[in-house]
Amino acid sequence: MSIRRELPADSDIIADIYTKGFDTDAEAKLVNTLRESGAPYLSLVYEDGNDLIGHILFTMVELEGDNSNIRIMGLAPMCVLPGDQCRGIGSSLVRAGLDECKSEGYDAVVVLGYTGFYPRFGFVSSVEFDITTTFNVPMEVFMAQELKPGALKDRSGRVKFNQAFDQFKC
């Protein structure tokens, strides 16, 4: 079992993971759109033998209203094949992704998601920082973590995710 960067030949299998993990193909299409959007991204797969059973994507987001050159990644989406969930694969993907983002020099990572899952990797509610999001969601589900200590201190603004996410806005 290993985690590695996505290769061009993986894209159909990755789409299949999302189609099986979600009720619709919206997330599978989202991954394809984000990959082609031109925004910097990090795409990792979890490989078990010859099979891909999990995937995670990070795409660079914009901090509207901030004129520093802060580089923030947005974690979304991620998915593990239904039959392989709750075996630690998702956690391994999050940790590997955070390590990669850090080694690539990103300042922080944000995520909109389960408050029972992401805090274990160091994400805290964004209310700890002076950042909001263009999504109309309870603030506790919008979480962030600094990859460089103090990176979000004295920064403020609205995190704007890639427009490919707009279809998921309430």
Ligand X SMILES: CC(C)(COP(=O)(O)OP(=O)(O)OC[C@H]1O[C@@H](n2cnc3c(N)ncnc32)[C@H](O)[C@@H]1OP(=O)(O)O)[C@@H](O)C(=O)NCCC(=O)NCCS
Nearer to ligand X, 9 or 86 (CB): 86
- What letter does residue 153 receive in the DSSP assignment? T
CA 151-110-8 angle, 5° bins: 115
Q: Binding to ligand X by residue 157, rule CB under 6 A?
A: no
- Exposed e or buried b per residue across 118-130, where buried means at least 16 C-beta atoms within 10 angstroms of its C-beta: beebebeebeebe
Could you say which residues in the range 86-145 bind ligand X, by CB under 6 A? 86-91, 113-114, 116-117
Q: Binding to ligand X by residue 79, rule CB under 6 A?
A: yes
Q: Binding to ligand X by residue 34, rule CB under 6 A?
A: no
The candidate with the shortest Cα–Cα distance to 78, out of 43, 39, 29, 41, is 43
**Alpha-carbon gap, residue 123 to 30, rounded angstroms:** 23
The candidate with the shortest Cα–Cα distance to 22, out of 93, 87, 94, 76, is 76
Q: Binding to ligand X by residue 80, rule CB under 6 A?
A: yes
Kindly indicate which of the ranges 8-16, 71-79, 121-129, 130-138 contains the residues binding ligand X, using the contact rule CB under 6 A.
71-79
Residue nearest to ligand X (CB): 90
Nearer to ligand X, 14 or 78 (CB): 78
Total residues contacting ligand X by CB under 6 A comes to: 18
| Chain contacts with ligand X (rule: CB under 6 A) | 21-22, 76-80, 85-91, 113-114, 116-117
